[in-house]
Structure 1
Amino acid sequence: MASIKEATIYRLKVHSDMVVEKIMGGLQQYAFQPCGKTQELSHGFTPVADNNFVLMGDHLVLFRYKIEEKILPKTVIEHHAQKRIVEAEEKNGKPLSKQEKDQIKEAVRIELLPRAFSLYKTIDAYIDTQNGWLVVGSCNNTVLDYVLSAIRQVVSGFSSELMVTRDEPSAKMTAWIFQEALDFSAFWLGDSAKITNHDGGAINCRKEDLQNEEIIELCQSRQVKQLTLESMHYTFDITEHMQIKRLKIDDAYTESHINSDEEEDKLHYLRVNAFVTQQTISEIINTLIKAFGGLVEEKAPEEKAA
């Protein structure tokens, strides 16, 4: 599960056991199928290892989602369509209407699709039954919509929500830079930050001393939208929406969890990576929930019972 370098975390609003039960038996029904000749997009669940659509671990149910997108640049379509438009206009002796040109472009697009190359994305996601979370290894809104919609097809009545804390993360992160330190000891300031500009743009500070006077001065009138934090075994960025980006876990930390007596196969390493990633993300999010004043609203008692 080393492929999880960024993550969006959702609180489950239904019991995690019910979600796990449905996922265990329902993913294959919505399995990924490659794009057909005239299909631009295809997505669905794909096996984690061999023919297994689910990998079980300690308080963990891991699954995988695959997206195929045909790449066909508009400039290519325009180039081929323009020739046909010119030929049609010469043949008819008059300019084509916009509707007629659009029809030609659409016909060209369909003809070229079988020759277009495919871009594939694979997204790991898991149910954290201990915390009652769905963790999706992406921060892209379109990808998140695909994954959540697919889960709703598998799990009838599925419901989740993003993390919302009492204190605004941007205000807290800005204060950390302004005061040149965090107000807790689990993490410390890294070397990168994204700071909003007066005009709504962003100032990206990469590999900088965040305690530099110029950066501190910037934070007097602006807000930090993304900040790098570090710990003994990993580094990551936290965003204003409580999303994790650029997660990097030390290889030595992962290797320390490997039992040398076990057979060193692909599935074993996958389980180890899954366990380490789950523990790391759990530590990050639970620490930051406290740092940001706790969650806005607590779950109902029956939802905590997991």
Structure 2
Amino acid sequence: MWFRNLQLYRLPVRWDMRIDQLEDQLARRAFTPCGSQDPESRGWLPPVANGPLVHAVGGQWLIALGIEHRLLPSSVVKQEAEERAARIELEQGFKPGRKQMKDLRDEVTQEFMPRAFTRRNKVYAWIDPQDGWLAVDVASVTRAEDILEALRQSLEAFPLTLVRTELSPVAAMSDWLAGGDVPGNFTIDMDCELKSVTEDKAAVRYVRHSLDGDEIKTHLQEGKLPTKLALTWNDRVSFLLTEKGEIKRLQFLDVVQEEASAGSEDAAELFDAYFALMTGELRQLIPAVIGILGGELATPAV
């Protein structure tokens, strides 16, 4: 269990929610597969097969939202509706009107929907009730909103706030690149993206390329701003910091994974060992990242 991304949100420190309360409230919206006419179904699934809806290890909680879609392409519906319309035209001597075509598409959709294949995804979220963090393992805020909306609908109270920092990530990354150094136990890696604020939106991307030369400083002087920067923390975790403060492309380095694997043979034990070590690392990494961005600002609820 290793997260690849962190869309990060704030819960009250020492959140007033017991694990049994969370379990009960999520159970009200437990996942059920799509019905014959349902294009989509959403609900809570056990993060670990046959387990509870809230998987707990060392006081850290893992939840999972199941999202199932019926795969009925609009092109299939359109083609079938047009074929039926052609037959009707032969029978009645003129083309079906707009309303009749809409009725045909609705008829085809209703008829084909029960036979459509389904695809199911799991979206994982980690809750740290001790330090007050909620992190969703998705690459975009839009996808994170799926699980946030499901939590709002499931929980009696959900006091979530955005994470904001004193320094904007763009300003901080500009300073680090200009000085060639990052405060704390962070090092600059070899991936970076810079974009111009002018109308031409010129951009330059470095992949596996040294960032400590004059070339980067020249781009900064010309007005390009960093929107992504690869960093490593404490020689244990590498990641990509974005202009929005997102943490992407998380990679727990070999030393961390070796520690997690030591002494674990059973699959369930290994899952818990990975989750425990991952959350242990992230509980140190997150405050460290916020620290080099100047600390937290009070923010409104979302």
TM-score between the two structures when normalised by the length of structure 2: 0.87
Identity %: 26
Paired residue type of 2:60: L
CA 1:269/1:103 → structure 2, altered by over 3 Å: closer, same or farther?
A: same
Measured after TM superposition, the shift of residue 78 of structure 1 is 2.2
**2:253 aligned partner:** 250
Structure 1 residues 196 and 105: CA distance shift in structure 2, 3 A? farther
- Mapped to 2, the partners of 1:257 and 1:240 lie a distance apart of 31
The Cα offsets for residues 262-297 of structure 1, whole Å up to 9 and x where unpaired, read as 6x3222112211112212222222112111111112
For this pair of structures, how many residues does the alignment match? Answer: 295
User: 2: distance between equivalents of 1:35 and 1:202?
Assistant: 43
* CA–CA distance in structure 2, aligned partners of residues 265 and 47 of structure 1: 19
Partner residue of 1:222?
224
The residue aligned with 1:159 is 159
Query: Aligned partner of 1:80: which letter?
Result: E
Check whether the contact 1:238–1:245 (CA below 8 A) recurs between aligned residues.
yes
C-alpha distance in structure 2 between counterparts of 1:28 and 1:19, whole Å: 14
Q: Determine helix, strand or coil for the equivalent of 1:90.
A: helix
What is the DSSP-based 3-state SS (H/G/I as helix, E as strand, rest coil) of the residue aligned with 1:48? coil
Q: In the aligned structure 1, how far is the partner of 2:126 from the partner of 2:210?
A: 35
The C-alpha deviation readout for 1:198-256, integer Å capped at 9, x for no partner, is 44475443222223444433333122222211131221111222221111112441331
Q: Which runs of 5+ in 1 are unaligned?
A: 300-306
Distance 2:13 2:179 in 1: 40
Match of 1:304 in 2: none
Instruction: Give SS of 1:274's match.
Output: helix
**What is the RMSD computed on CA atoms of the aligned residues?**
2.4
Query: Is the CA contact 1:16–1:127 (under 8 Å) kept in the aligned structure 2?
Result: no
Question: How do residues 5-154 of structure 1 correspond to structure 2 at under 5 angstroms?
Answer: 5-13=4-12, 16-18=15-17, 20-49=19-48, 50-154=50-154
Secondary structure of the structure 2 residue equivalent to 1:108: helix
For 1:302, the equivalent position in structure 2 comes to none
Q: Do the aligned residues in 1 keep the contact of 2:13 with 2:129 (CA within 8 Å)?
A: no
Q: How far has the Cα of 1:147 moved from its partner?
A: 1.2
Q: SS of the residue aligned with 1:18?
A: coil
Within-5 A mapping of 1:275-294: 275-294=276-295
Asked if residue 273 in structure 1 is aligned to residue 274 in structure 2, the reply is yes
1:303 maps to which residue? Answer: none
SS of aligned partner of 2:112: helix
| Distance across 1 between alignment mates of 2:37 and 2:147 | 23
Alpha carbons 1:14, 1:158 under 8 Å: kept: no
Corresponding residue for 1:189?
A: 188
Structure 1: how far apart are the matches of 2:191 and 2:259? 28
CA shift, 1:19, in A, is 5.8
Over 3 Å counting, the alpha-carbon distance change for 1:72 and 1:130 in structure 2 is same
In structure 1, distance between residues paired with 2:152 and 2:186: 36
Is residue 14–residue 159 contact of structure 1 (8 Å, CA) maintained in 2? no
SS of residue in 2 equivalent to 1:256: helix
Cα distance change of structure 1 residues 116 and 178 upon mapping to structure 2, 3 Å threshold: farther
Distance 1:138 1:172, change over 3 A: same
Within 2, Cα distance between the matches of 1:235 and 1:73? 39
Structure 2 SS opposite 1:246: strand
Alpha-carbon spacing, 1:194–1:110, altered in 2? closer, same or farther (3 Å): farther
* Equivalent-residue separation in structure 2 for 1:64 and 1:251 (angstroms): 26
Give unmatched runs, 5+ long, in structure 2.
none
Letter in 2 for 1:67: I
Q: Distance in 1 between matches of 2:186 and 2:71?
A: 41
Cα 1:115–1:227 shift into 2, 3 Å:
farther
